[in-house]
């Protein structure tokens, strides 16, 4: 979809290679500084390597510049995806819950996030990769597999440097281990400069045979200029969350329990949250999202919910003559967690007349939602059907987040 915050300029790669910045070393940063041991290099750069978490997973990143107590972090686009805010942790000690996503470049799988405000932030420079060659030693740092603790280090060599047509950029192939969670983290020279941003690894051939030592990073020659430009994009701040919400059941009022995302009014949006079942399926429950809610009495809406009978439902009420509530679609969910305290992750993306709905990471439907109003308020809701509320019970929602489709 169209994303005005994304950096999709076809000249971006040329720009990034032509846009030169001063750096400390007059010669290639690809080669080690004989005055620094590997342990010393790691000690210097570790405070700049961060963990990035969204409700869909986690990855890594690296601080590449600091301005006015704000640290700018380059990472992968696929780590932050369409999130407006992400959680950033430095040195496994300082956590910033609202790292702000400035902009993304989907083609080159890059994104920039900022955190504020701290005088102790540490940045690392991009290195010069112009004479980087096979056999040069490198290290990677990051937070693989969401393992708790400080950033881990792996060591290897440059296997090759080549142009990649898929990303229209220069990539570095390395045998240094790149595991899930390392995505977005830095590939360093032995003297501690950023040579690339780790992006992906190949684990098997097309025929399914396993392979080892095939990791790839977007080269600094392609990433540096793009990261700088993305850092200057003013992000769309019309987002909400992540917030933890408590929906109190009160069957006596005859109303759906709802908690709105503040005053956010959106047409195109991404909304997500982890719903915690109030009790097991012996007693009925239903919960999910209400979107594009417009009228004062709440009668115009688009709703996506899951139910304790292992089903999902999307229904709407628009400006029809009879203003009736109509079911758009429903389906069975074999993998739904229906026990008391069980958790299910719901996502919905609305763009124009199309809605995409997912449960626990799996898309369950792509629907025409044109019958709903084109924009409106957003809320988490519970107790959509009579009998779905037990007095005194609470439906919890963890990480209720609304982000614009940019």
| Residue 387 CB-density burial (10 A; 0-12 exposed, 13-18 middle, 19+ buried) | exposed
**Residue from 48, 183, 221, 272 carrying the catalytic annotation:** 183
**Residue from 78, 102, 249, 287 carrying the catalytic annotation:** 78
**Residue from 7, 109, 128, 136 carrying the catalytic annotation:** 109
Place of tokens 């708790």: 148
Ordered alpha helix ranges (H), 200-310 = 220-231
Strand partners of residue 103: 112
DSSP conformation letters of 258-287: EEEEEEEEESSEEEEEEEEPSS-TTS--EE
The closest of 329, 338, 326 to 371, measured between CA atoms, is 326
Q: Annotated catalytic, 109?
A: yes
Q: Annotated catalytic, 2?
A: no
Separation between Cα atoms, residue 313 and residue 286, nearest integer Å: 10
Separation between Cα atoms, residue 66 and residue 53, nearest integer Å: 21
Residue 207, number of CB atoms within 10 A of its CB: 5
Question: What is the spatial order of strands in the sheet that 354-359 belongs to?
Answer: 240-248, 394-404, 269-276, 343-351, 354-359, 362-368
Separation between Cα atoms, residue 113 and residue 70, nearest integer Å: 10
Residue 213, number of CB atoms within 10 A of its CB: 15
Strand partners of residue 51: 60, 89
Q: Which tokens go with 266?
A: 């959106």
The closest of 288, 282, 281 to 310, measured between CA atoms, is 281
The closest of 39, 49, 140 to 92, measured between CA atoms, is 49
Separation between Cα atoms, residue 43 and residue 33, nearest integer Å: 14
Q: Annotated catalytic, 78?
A: yes
Cα 79 to the chain's mean position, in Å?
5
Give catalytic residues, as residue numbers. Answer: 78, 109, 183
């Amino acid at each position: 979809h169209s994303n005005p915050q994304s950096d999709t300029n076809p000249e971006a790669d040329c720009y990034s290679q032509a846009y030169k910045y001063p750096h400390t070393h007059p010669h290639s940063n690809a080669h080690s500084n004989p005055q620094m041991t590997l342990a010393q290099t790691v000690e210097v750069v570790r405070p700049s390597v961060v963990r990035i978490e969204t409700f869909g997973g986690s990855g890594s990143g690296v601080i590449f510049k600091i301005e006015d107590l704000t640290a700018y972090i380059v990472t992968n686009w696929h780590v932050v995806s369409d999130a407006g805010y992400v959680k950033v942790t430095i040195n496994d000690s300082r956590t910033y819950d609202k790292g702000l996503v400035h902009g993304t470049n989907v083609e080159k799988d890059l994104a920039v996030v900022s955190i504020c405000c701290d005088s102790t932030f540490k940045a690392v420079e991009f290195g010069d990769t112009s004479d980087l060659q096979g056999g040069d030693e490198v290290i990677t740092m990051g937070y693989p597999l969401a393992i708790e603790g400080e950033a881990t280090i792996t060591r290897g060599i440059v296997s090759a440097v080549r142009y990649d047509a898929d990303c229209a950029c220069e990539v570095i192939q390395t045998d240094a281990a790149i595991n899930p969670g390392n995505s977005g983290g830095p590939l360093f020279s032995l003297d501690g400069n950023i040579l690339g941003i780790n992006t992906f690894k190949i684990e098997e051939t097309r025929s399914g045979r396993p392979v080892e030592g095939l990791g790839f990073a977007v080269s600094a020659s392609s990433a540096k200029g793009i990261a700088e430009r993305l850092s200057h994009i003013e992000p769309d701040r019309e987002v909400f969350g992540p917030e933890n919400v408590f929906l109190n059941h009160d069957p006596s009022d005859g109303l759906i329990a709802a908690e709105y995302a503040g005053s956010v009014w959106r047409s195109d949006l991404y909304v997500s949250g982890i719903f915690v079942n109030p009790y097991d399926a012996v007693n009925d429950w239903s919960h999910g999202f209400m979107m594009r809610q417009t009228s004062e009495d709440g009668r115009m809406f688009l709703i996506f919910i899951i139910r304790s009978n292992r089903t999902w439902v999307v229904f709407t009420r628009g400006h029809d003559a009879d203003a009736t509530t109509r079911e758009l679609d429903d389906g069975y969910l074999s993998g739904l967690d229906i026990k008391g305290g069980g958790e299910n992750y719901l996502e919905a993306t609305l763009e124009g007349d199309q809605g995409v709905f997912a449960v626990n990471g799996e898309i369950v439907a792509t629907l025409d939602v044109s019958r709903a109003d084109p924009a409106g308020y957003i809320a988490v809701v519970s107790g959509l059907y009579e009998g779905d509320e037990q007095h005194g019970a609470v439906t919890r929602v963890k990480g209720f987040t609304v982000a614009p489709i940019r």
